[in-house]
Amino acid sequence: MTIALGARLISCRKLLAELSNYLDDELDPDLRRELQVHLRACPDCWVLFDTTRRTIIILRGNEPYPMPEDVKQRLTEAIHRKMARFRPQA
């Protein structure tokens, strides 16, 4: 969907490209307003925005879950095996 905004058109693709900057409040005010207009008019982008925003809020409130030592060891070994495949043979 493309939302007309004066002479500019804000597409869903443009909103998606700027979503992270929008959520981090790192946009210039004019572009921010344009994206807000798009969000009010496009239900698909609104759902994407709202879900992403809520996910960030939930994740910021949680501490990292400690990895069990045996899982950490198996993961490390698996990574080393994978990396060995890409090392040049002497």
CB 16 within 8 A of CB 48: yes
Q: How many domains does the chain have?
A: 1
CATH number of the domain bearing residue 32 = 1.10.10
- Provide the residue range defining the domain that includes 20: 2-86
State the Cα angle at 64 between 62 and 23, rounded to 5°.
55
Global pTM reads: 0.60
23: left (phi over 0), alpha (psi -120 to 50) or beta: alpha
**Residue 65 confidence (pLDDT):** 79
pLDDT in tens, 3-32: 554 435 789 999 999 999 999 999 999 999
Rounded mean pLDDT, 59-72: 86
Pick from 15, 17, 8: which is nearest to 43 by CA? 15
Judge contact between 39 and 45, C-beta under 8 A. yes
pLDDT, one tens digit per residue, over 27-64 is 999 999 999 999 999 999 999 999 999 999 888 877 77
Helix (H) or strand (E) holding 55: helix 43-60
